[in-house]
């Protein structure tokens, strides 16, 4: 078993969650923050200062350190293959922001390399650990909804209309798209939890409301091989849209977040009527799962399978949107 505390570095402040993951390192009893690297020195120094840590300008030297156990990766998605590949080659464990990679082929390349190197690789898919998801999984597993026919998951904010997202989030060369490649990742993996990862069709509607060159308003409809329909909605142009989930089957329905802005209640409806379902406490967050897997010498296999499926659906949606634009 590795010695604790595990020594962890933050790689890049490109993503808005970089500080959050750095604080996860500081807060976990079995991890210690070594420092921050970024190819943008000014950005990296700002994050290091916010975390009370050291800016480390040389990535090769950092990865060569014997006292480094792992890294959190919050770089642009388009450089994940190179950055994660270098980390894996150095034998360091990885906790990374979604998406794992821009393509499924790159996902497979990275996960295979990590397994061969004995590197524990985990992707941040946090809503799978939330209490409402745990309660929803229990309902789905019980079969009380019958055959599933429809789901809808919506998550949106006002990052574009209020202009609080960094400009780099609108650069396709770095971000692999706009709102759907970033914020919609959460509705995507929740939809795949509900309906399964296999889709017979993926249809995307993307619009650019604020003129930044990428989609900031998006709806994607997936159809499963057995005929269920899943609707995934997201955007950067909505000031007060509560996160919501609805699932319908031949025997019942589940609603979450549709009874008020706080989105705190889960309701199950069947032929017997509606009942409120208690939402349990959140389970271990992905970062904690990663640390536990490192210490146990294991893998977070379900996480990696869901991360791969997430990339596959985002890629399919982006391709459909591009095709629709090209054919007018």
Q: Domain coordinates of the chain in residue numbers?
A: 6-119, 127-284+315-327
pLDDT of residue 326: 76
pLDDT of residue 115: 97
pLDDT of residue 172: 79
Q: Which of the four pLDDT bands, split at 50, 70 and 90, describes residue 301?
A: very high
What does the pLDDT average to over 141-148?
98
- Give percent above pLDDT 70 in the chain: 98
pLDDT for 261 beyond 80: no
pLDDT for 113 beyond 90: yes
What does the pLDDT average to over 133-139?
98
pLDDT of residue 240: 86
What does the pLDDT average to over 6-13?
98
pLDDT of residue 62: 98
pLDDT for 260 beyond 70: no
What does the pLDDT average to over 157-165?
96
pLDDT for 1 beyond 90: no
CB-based contacts of 72, cutoff 8 Å, min separation 6: 8, 9, 10, 11, 18, 21, 22, 24, 25, 94, 95, 96, 287
Cβ neighbours, 10 Å, residue 23: 15
pLDDT for 39 beyond 80: yes
pLDDT of residue 30: 98
Per-residue pLDDT reduced to its tens digit, 266-276: 999 999 999 99
The CATH architecture assigned to 6-119 reads: 3-Layer(aba) Sandwich (3.40)
Tell me, which fold does domain 127-284+315-327 have in CATH?
Dihydrodipicolinate Reductase; domain 2 (3.30.360)
What does the pLDDT average to over 229-252?
96
């Amino acid at each position: 078993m590795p010695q604790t505390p595990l020594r962890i570095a933050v790689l890049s402040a490109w993503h808005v969650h970089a500080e959050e993951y750095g604080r996860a390192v500081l807060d976990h009893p079995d991890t210690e923050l070594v420092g921050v690297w970024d190819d943008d020195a000014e950005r990296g120094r700002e994050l290091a200062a916010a975390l009370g840590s050291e800016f480390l300008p040389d990535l090769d030297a950092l990865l060569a350190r014997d006292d480094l156990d792992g890294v959190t990766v919050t770089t642009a998605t388009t450089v994940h293959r190179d950055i994660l590949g270098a980390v894996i080659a150095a034998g360091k464990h990885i906790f990374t922001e979604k998406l794992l990679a821009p393509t499924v082929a790159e996902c497979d390349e990275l996960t295979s390399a990590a397994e061969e190197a004995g590197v524990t690789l985990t992707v941040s898919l946090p809503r799978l650990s939330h209490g409402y998801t745990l309660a929803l999984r229990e309902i789905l597993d019980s079969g009380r909804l019958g055959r599933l026919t429809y789901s809808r998951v919506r998550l949106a904010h006002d990052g574009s209309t209020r202009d609080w997202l960094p400009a780099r989030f609108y650069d396709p060369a770095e971000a692999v798209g706009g709102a759907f490649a970033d914020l919609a990742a959460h509705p995507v993996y929740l939809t795949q939890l509900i309906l399964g990862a296999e889709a017979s069709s993926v249809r995307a509607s993307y619009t650019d409301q604020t003129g930044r060159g990428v989609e900031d308003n998006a709806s994607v409809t997936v159809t499963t091989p057995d005929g269920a329909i899943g609707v995934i909605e997201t955007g950067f142009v909505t000031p007060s849209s509560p996160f919501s989930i609805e699932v319908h089957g031949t025997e019942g329905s589940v609603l979450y977040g549709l009874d008020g802005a706080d989105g705190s209640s889960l309701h199950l409806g069947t032929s017997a009527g509606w009942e409120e379902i208690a939402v349990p406490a959140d389970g271990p967050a992905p970062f904690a799962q990663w640390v536990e897997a490192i210490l146990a010498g294991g893998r977070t296999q379900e996480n990696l399978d869901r991360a791969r499926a997430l990339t596959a659906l985002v890629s399919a949606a982006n391709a459909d949107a591009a095709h629709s634009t090209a054919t007018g």
